[in-house]
Structure 1
């Protein structure tokens, strides 16, 4: 089973001015494609293990993976899954506020939507080095805000991610240089809560 990047639902320049065209292009066609290629290369000869399994299923059960390829699955598979979620929740004409069941849970867990944004922004900005900020469904089925380092996916910790902010420098450095906080502030303008809600409801139905 070959794994791949998800197709973009927008053109490279359609996230302007918040994320520049050159960054989206390089990030998607070079960085993400490189992770996809390395993942599939690492999995050659292990088709019997991967057959019929999504990448997310493999990462969620990382302890069951063959030890000889586990590190590559974490490194490359984590990067592919993380980036696929990241690119999938962005949009040129996003719904900027959650509604319905997800909003109710946000209000119950964090107080209100503004408090969630503040907590997730701070978690992302203050993550040391490369990594991601996340809104996840934790092991108890509750919403939580976390960050992970490098390529690590919340799936490996039995958490279901529904939103991520990529804070590797390649996600923002061409436009924002060292101003990670400005990038995090602006990314909220292109996060599509329609897509986040779809993921949330799908995960809740499992």
Structure 2
């Protein structure tokens, strides 16, 4: 039962798929160890994204919120194993929503940290090369992509994410949203995700979340996004 539940949990499938095949695609290869989630290290200091994202937000977001998803995922995995050992299929099945929520939160945030870099040190600017060509073909311009993404973020009711994704069959780019911590799955490859949960911006921007949506483009790591696109 435990193995069946884990296989059918979309969030875990997304993380394990990235781990097994293309580490750069979801950056989850170093954050799942023997089936357990671990908090990934950041490649920059908490204060390195200022003034666009404050060090206080980054520290809380990474060390507290992301850690909570890691802990919740691991606890759910252990609960499934314990329920299976007792032959309690109902109790094991009850953990599936927690696997999806916390596993999705872990995978989404692992991607998110890799999306970012200090301004002028890999962050900000515009995409180049094949990615920029694809953006121009599918959106008309980079500015249009930003406007569509910001509009999608503004349209999220409650908590969620906006993603720049690539269709695995056609290769075309589009912007999609996902509620809560639902990960991008199926035939779409996540390239760039922007967190619209309040914990990602409220301490700095309060109710001015549109300012956060505008500021985050100054710390997007387009090199990482391009590698995901070309992989």
- The corresponding residue for 1:71 is 97
Mapping for residues 54-65 of structure 1, pairs under 5 Å: none
Does the CA-based 8 Å contact 2:124-2:217 persist in structure 1? no
Mapping for residues 1-206 of structure 1, pairs under 5 Å: 1-44=35-78, 67-92=93-118, 93=121, 94=123, 96-138=125-167, 140=169, 141-155=171-185, 157-202=186-231
Does the CA-based 8 Å contact 1:95-1:194 persist in structure 2? no
Does the CA-based 8 Å contact 1:121-1:184 persist in structure 2? yes
Measure the CA separation in 2 of the matches of 1:125 and 1:113.
Answer: 18
Structure-1-length-normalised TM-score: 0.84
**Larger Cα-atom Rg:** 2
Structure 2, gaps ≥5 residues long:
1-34, 82-91
1:129 is displaced (CA, Å) by 1.0
> After superposition, what is the alpha-carbon deviation per residue over 1:139-182, rounded to whole angstroms, capped at 9, x for unaligned?
53321101111111112x44211101101000000000011100
Measure the CA separation in 1 of the matches of 2:38 and 2:57.
Answer: 20
1:121 is displaced (CA, Å) by 1.1
Partner SS for 2:182: coil
1:132 is displaced (CA, Å) by 0.6
Measure the CA separation in 1 of the matches of 2:96 and 2:168.
Answer: 22
Between Structure 1 and Structure 2, how many residues are aligned? 183
Structure 1 stretches of at least 4 aligned residues deviating more than 4 Å after TM superposition: none
Does the CA-based 8 Å contact 2:124-2:218 persist in structure 1? no
RMSD: 1.6
